[in-house]
Structure 1
């Protein structure tokens, strides 16, 4: 089963959820702002993802911009970045779907098709 971190008001999250429902994919939905993944969970998901840690950041979010992270991320350690992500679910690119092995960030239908069907 997929653990699906989403923000209910997010249009992209709603599209992804609709796709999961339409394709009868089982998932456990978690409100990313109310219950963000822990630093340890994020580290595990990040390791499984094969993508750069900076891709986990919601670069279009208000918090990302207000903290000036565009310029700060490159000087932060992996540990600091994981702590920051775990501190506020709104910093995490969403939706974030993960089944213990595979990870998708954001919603691209082709990625969902490859990973979840």
Structure 2
């Protein structure tokens, strides 16, 4: 999913969530590699930015009206 989104792993984190703040991820992400980030996201679903939309190879993370509109137009 992360690869199909085209985003770096750090962009998959819900930076405004309690789990992110309580876990000190603002500082921890600076020294984590992608594998460690993905493992942290898999271990605690509250760290994951939402919504996540998938359709085939298309993955949209977070909400962007423009991104959703472009995805809709590309499906026509």
| Residues matched between the structures, number | 73
2:50 alignment partner, SS class:
coil
Structure with the higher fraction of residues in helix conformation: 2
Deviating 4+ runs (over 2 angstroms): none
RMSD over aligned CA atoms reads: 1.1
Aligned ranges 1:1-117 → 2 under 5 Å: 45-117=1-73
TM-score, length of structure 1 as denominator length = 0.59
**Structure 2 unaligned residues grouped into runs of 5+:** none
- Can you give the 5+ residue segments of structure 1 that lack an aligned partner in the other structure? 1-44
How many Å separate the matches in 1 of 2:9 and 2:72? 22
Higher relative contact order (CA 8 A, sep 6+): 1
Relative to the length of structure 2, the TM-score reads 0.87
